[in-house]
Amino acid sequence: MGLFGHLLRLKTSKAYEKLVTEIISQPLGMTDTAIHLTPQQMQCLAPGHSADGMLTSKWDFEVMLARAFRSTSEDLLKFLQANLCKANTAMAAIFARSRSQYFEENETFTMRLAWLILTLPNRQVLYWHNGGSGDYTSFIGFDKSEQTEVAILSNYGDTAKDDFSVDEIGITTLI
């Protein structure tokens, strides 16, 4: 997704953050989703913690900006609600396209443009994605047929060290 964001910037001559803000954040009312936080947003950012409880510094990115966005659970739930929308709108079409199949997949676990898809034995289909940078981790997911969603933000954890506990909590909540 970082490369995709870079290509979009080159194609449109607009900064990736500006594109995401114009196309997704503003229309959905996601006022606390950004790469560059305001001073007020910085005050609300919880400090990250390592596995041994020590405070860590946040990561800032100059490239691979898809990983650089920070958000709130309220904004992420707005994003998930838009993904669940059944209306025939341009935004709904964009979200449906992000779930379209572009790659070969197996029966249980697949990946679409930005979604990991888990099909359970009972045929329940979960769309989800996670994030992690430094000692922050996140999970968003939804079940379109059940119209359920979950967003989890944590200022503790490290996906680089195989800590996927936030994913496990999110998937278990959706099931």
Q: Which pLDDT tens digit goes with each residue over 70-81?
A: 899 999 999 999
Number of residues that this document lists for the chain: 175
Q: Which residue has the higher pLDDT, 156 or 161?
A: 156
Strands (E), 104-166: 109-111, 116-119, 125-133, 136-143, 148-154
pLDDT of residue 152: 95
pLDDT of residue 172: 93
Is the pLDDT confidence value at 151 over 90?
A: yes
pLDDT of residue 76: 96
Residue 9 banded pLDDT, cuts 50, 70, 90: confident
pLDDT of residue 159: 61
Please give the average per-residue pLDDT across 102-108, as a whole number: 65
90-98 helix and 73-84 helix, angle to the nearest 10 degrees = 90
Q: What percent of the chain has pLDDT over 90?
A: 35
pTM of the model: 0.84
Is the pLDDT confidence value at 39 over 70?
A: yes
Please report where in the chains the tokens 């199949």 appear, as a residue.
101
For the record, the structure tokens of 163 come out as 């800590």
